[in-house]
Structure 1
Amino acid sequence: MSSVQRNPWLICAYYGVHSLMFPAAIFPLFWTRDIGMSVATMMSVQAAFNLSIALFEFPSGYIADRLGHRRALVLGSTSILLGWFLYAIAHALWSVILAELVLGVGFSLVSGADSALLYDSLREQGKEHEFARWYGRMRSIAQIASGSGALVAGFLYARWSRLPFVIEVAAWVLALGIALRFGETQRAQPKVEDHLGRMRSIVRDALLERADLRAVLLLGVALALAAYLPTWLIALYATESGAEVTWIGPMWAVASFTTALGAMLSERAGRLLGMTGTLLACVALVAAGYLGLAISHHALGFAFYFLLTLVRGLHMPLLHHEEQRLAPDGDRASCVSLRSFLFRFAFVLLAPVVGMGVDRYGHRPVLWVSGALMAALTIAAFCLFRARAARPQQA
């Protein structure tokens, strides 16, 4: 079996290790208890993390297209390994921000290069039509790994608050080893003399001239933002509602498992409901999830969050397959990274405002406003997708 033939399974294994993320479930506790952050500061740090990714997101995708997707994944994995090491020794706000910035560079290099390598590897084997299935499989494995890591996160944190980060460093040593085994695909590399001009051309083509690609990108951003925005609030929301701290790890695990379930069902849902029907269901689940979180005062009210994590898994394989299909061959990672840039930039704008709102007014009023905004954005993006992206498919 050639290295390119092994790539789909290696990418799944890489994402399994990539997504273990032992510190993720206990981040709010670590930030507030060990570092001494307020909720506003916590959300601002996450905004800084997303800003670091956003600033390097599109350039990193372009770099991946020029250097090769395998090299970008190796460089990104190295940076992420360094970032987790810095987190393991962080003791103050400035050291957390430094670790977040290094992680941001690493994750931005990985973003776009992973799915582009998967798509090109399948296309090289004449299996391009299997992308949604493989992407769903990759996401399912990732979320199962994430949930499994969350199950033990609280136990590790209780033993030693740094232990989740130390184990995460070991996990990324393994991830780097897997990345080194990826095979680079045979892609036609267009000669580029003006790189800045080429980058401007990619942005102009994706956001201004290609209505079909623009609609897919914007709907992906809206659904991802809606599903992601409450992530860093849900642990505090749950404990404020009366849930025990020991529930946080299992709660995070169930959230990851529902995302995995959505990713596994995505291709089947696309066949049964069509892409448009499946994405419309995602829009409805977004509205239901925020509404449930805003009106519930029960200790189990956080369960409505699982509707949003289901959306996260359900929409991604279908939309990302369409994204890969529409993106130019030589700039596939660039287009994926452009969508990620738009998502990160939107989060950077919203997260500090949400954090300050929670500090001043509490979770539920903020969830009412955030839910109304997210529902409006996803409905508008869906209408644009329905009008622009679906029309060529029906012709």
Structure 2
Amino acid sequence: MKLPHSNIWKLFIIKGGLWFMIIMPVIILFFQDNGLNMMEIMSLQACYSASLALAEIPSGYAADLLGRKKTLVLGCVLSFLGFSLFSISYSFWWFLAAEIILGLGNSFISGADTALMYDTLLEIKLEKKFLKYEGRSISIGNFSEAIAGIIGGSFAAISFRYPAYAQVLISFFIIPFAISLKEPKMQQERMKKSWKSILEVMNFSFRKSKVLRTHIFYSSGVGMGTLMMAWLAQPFLKELGVEMKYYGLLWALLNVVVGLVSYQAHRIENKFSEFQSLFIVGFLCISCYLLISFNINVTGFGVLLLFYANRGYATPLLRNHINRHTPSNVRATVMSIRSLIIRMSFALIAPWIGWVADQWGLNNAFLIMGFLVTGIAIYCLSWFYKNKKELAHNK
């Protein structure tokens, strides 16, 4: 596939490197091997999400003000430092420090990478191809995580520390590619150099543009649901009695499913109206949570595969819808607002879900998540249904 700009393939490599998470297939087992229970593990992830969320809008603002490239480079460097500390940590508090650094690093990457890709395409008048390339990017990320899953499972069979050490090397590898990116010329004026501009962007996102506000809420709700499932999948495999040597292979399978669907996301979208696409991703997210809560067995793994397939379609689709309704000079900030809502929601809910899993069982944790996503979906889809003409106009 011939790419129209060097930024695109570099962003693909960065995405692949960031998602080459050798530690992920066994991270729950890794934490448990260091004496942590599910509530402590989910509390760590809540703190990670909170640190990421608190820096989301300032980092998105920095990307709009100073440039996407600089913030991406900073994010990659912080990720390297965070994984370095993570690899030598053995207790809750050291893991917490590492998670906070990683959260800050990812906050500078989140939003800036998507905005850089969109503005690169906008500059060469190919912005309508964004969903195609964003889908490719997510697909690469998931194929990368799939390969990493197989390697990580093999490493963990020797020692849980080996995947953590390998993660340090991988995070260092992507820094030169971030440095080599080219900042696209803005199609519109840059944001005014004032922190008041952040409030102006939030006012535009949540008051002036009702369609953008609803897209942000809906994308955030579905995004929070997919993020929570990523952390519940490994306890689910453990309850199934899966041997550790198969964790990497099953993790790889889940990510291959996401990658295959993401790769075809732009073609799938063309078969449906915008409202139909939005309804499908919400309906499948909710249905899978509710079904899996009653099927902690092999059938439940089939439902988990369906959930991950839906994730492969939902992620690029919902980002594309937000980009359609967002001016170029505030795009990174708006994408960061979306990420902030996802991460803060996760930070508030994750420890509670972890406690439910410890005390009442994993099936009840899935059930509660299904009800939470249902509430968000009903609110947003009702608005989308009443305003289908506006959605069709902007497609």
TM range (shorter): over 0.9
Read off the aligned partner of 1:315 and give its amino acid letter. A
Query: Which SS does the other structure have where 2:174 is aligned?
Result: helix
CA distance in 1: counterparts of 2:273 and 2:315, whole angstroms: 14
User: Are the counterparts in 2 of residues 53 and 105 from structure 1 also a CA contact under 8 Å?
Assistant: yes
TM-score by length of 1: 0.95
* Aligned-residue RMSD, C-alpha: 1.8
Q: In the alignment, which residue of structure 1 is the partner of 2:155?
A: 156
CA distance in 1: counterparts of 2:136 and 2:191, whole angstroms: 35
Read off the aligned partner of 2:272 and give its amino acid letter. L
Read off the aligned partner of 2:366 and give its amino acid letter. L
Q: In the alignment, which residue of structure 2 is the partner of 1:61?
A: 60
Q: In the alignment, which residue of structure 2 is the partner of 1:357?
A: 356
The answer to whether residue 28 in structure 2 is matched with residue 28 in structure 1 is yes
Q: In the alignment, which residue of structure 1 is the partner of 2:19?
A: 19
Per-residue CA distance 1:298-328 (angstroms, 9 max, x = gap): 2452332222222222022222122122212
The alpha-carbon distance between structure 1 residues 126 and 191, as it changes in their structure 2 partners (threshold 3 A), is closer
Query: Shift of the alpha carbon at 1:390?
Result: 5.3
Q: In the alignment, which residue of structure 2 is the partner of 1:99?
A: 98
Read off the aligned partner of 1:181 and give its amino acid letter. S
CA distance in 1: counterparts of 2:256 and 2:351, whole angstroms: 28
TM-score by length of 2: 0.95
Per-residue CA distance 1:28-56 (angstroms, 9 max, x = gap): 001111x2111111111100000000000
CA distance in 1: counterparts of 2:77 and 2:19, whole angstroms: 15
Query: Which SS does the other structure have where 1:273 is aligned?
Result: coil
CA distance in 2: counterparts of 1:23 and 1:312, whole angstroms: 21
User: Are the counterparts in 1 of residues 52 and 103 from structure 2 also a CA contact under 8 Å?
Assistant: yes
Read off the aligned partner of 2:310 and give its amino acid letter. V
Structure 2 unaligned segments of length 5 or more: list them. none
Per-residue CA distance 1:58-112 (angstroms, 9 max, x = gap): 1100011111001111110000011110111111111100110000010000001
The answer to whether residue 284 in structure 2 is matched with residue 285 in structure 1 is yes
CA distance in 2: counterparts of 1:374 and 1:320, whole angstroms: 18
Structure 1 unaligned segments of length 5 or more: list them. none
CA distance in 1: counterparts of 2:50 and 2:282, whole angstroms: 26
CA distance in 2: counterparts of 1:319 and 1:286, whole angstroms: 13
Q: In the alignment, which residue of structure 2 is the partner of 1:372?
A: 371
Identity %: 27
Deviates more, 1:372-381 or 1:67-76: 372-381
The answer to whether residue 208 in structure 2 is matched with residue 209 in structure 1 is yes
User: Are the counterparts in 1 of residues 19 and 144 from structure 2 also a CA contact under 8 Å?
Assistant: yes
Deviates more, 1:262-271 or 1:79-88: 262-271
The alpha-carbon distance between structure 1 residues 228 and 307, as it changes in their structure 2 partners (threshold 3 A), is farther
Q: In the alignment, which residue of structure 1 is the partner of 2:44?
A: 45
Query: Which SS does the other structure have where 2:230 is aligned?
Result: coil
CA distance in 1: counterparts of 2:305 and 2:175, whole angstroms: 31
Query: Shift of the alpha carbon at 1:388?
Result: 4.1
User: Are the counterparts in 2 of residues 241 and 298 from structure 1 also a CA contact under 8 Å?
Assistant: yes
The answer to whether residue 259 in structure 2 is matched with residue 238 in structure 1 is no
The alpha-carbon distance between structure 1 residues 390 and 379, as it changes in their structure 2 partners (threshold 3 A), is farther
Per-residue CA distance 1:172-192 (angstroms, 9 max, x = gap): 222111111111111254462
Query: Which SS does the other structure have where 1:90 is aligned?
Result: coil
Please identify runs of 4+ aligned residues in structure 1 that moved more than 6 A. none
Q: In the alignment, which residue of structure 2 is the partner of 1:9?
A: 9
The alpha-carbon distance between structure 1 residues 336 and 181, as it changes in their structure 2 partners (threshold 3 A), is same
CA distance in 1: counterparts of 2:299 and 2:273, whole angstroms: 33
The alpha-carbon distance between structure 1 residues 358 and 191, as it changes in their structure 2 partners (threshold 3 A), is closer
User: Are the counterparts in 2 of residues 216 and 389 from structure 1 also a CA contact under 8 Å?
Assistant: no
Query: Shift of the alpha carbon at 1:223?
Result: 1.2
CA distance in 1: counterparts of 2:388 and 2:220, whole angstroms: 15
CA distance in 2: counterparts of 1:165 and 1:141, whole angstroms: 22
CA distance in 1: counterparts of 2:303 and 2:191, whole angstroms: 50
CA distance in 2: counterparts of 1:255 and 1:295, whole angstroms: 20
Q: In the alignment, which residue of structure 1 is the partner of 2:83?
A: 84
Query: Shift of the alpha carbon at 1:394?
Result: 3.9
User: Are the counterparts in 1 of residues 257 and 308 from structure 2 also a CA contact under 8 Å?
Assistant: yes
Read off the aligned partner of 2:126 and give its amino acid letter. K
User: Are the counterparts in 1 of residues 135 and 266 from structure 2 also a CA contact under 8 Å?
Assistant: yes
Deviates more, 1:139-148 or 1:313-322: 313-322
CA distance in 1: counterparts of 2:387 and 2:110, whole angstroms: 26
Deviates more, 1:348-357 or 1:248-257: 248-257
CA distance in 2: counterparts of 1:64 and 1:394, whole angstroms: 30
Give 1:265-344 correspondences, 5 Å limit.
Answer: 265-299=264-298, 301-344=300-343
Q: In the alignment, which residue of structure 1 is the partner of 2:125?
A: 126
User: Are the counterparts in 1 of residues 262 and 316 from structure 2 also a CA contact under 8 Å?
Assistant: yes
Query: Shift of the alpha carbon at 1:142?
Result: 0.5
Per-residue CA distance 1:260-285 (angstroms, 9 max, x = gap): 12212211111111222222221221
Query: Which SS does the other structure have where 2:183 is aligned?
Result: coil
- Aligned pairs, number: 391
Deviates more, 1:375-384 or 1:206-215: 375-384
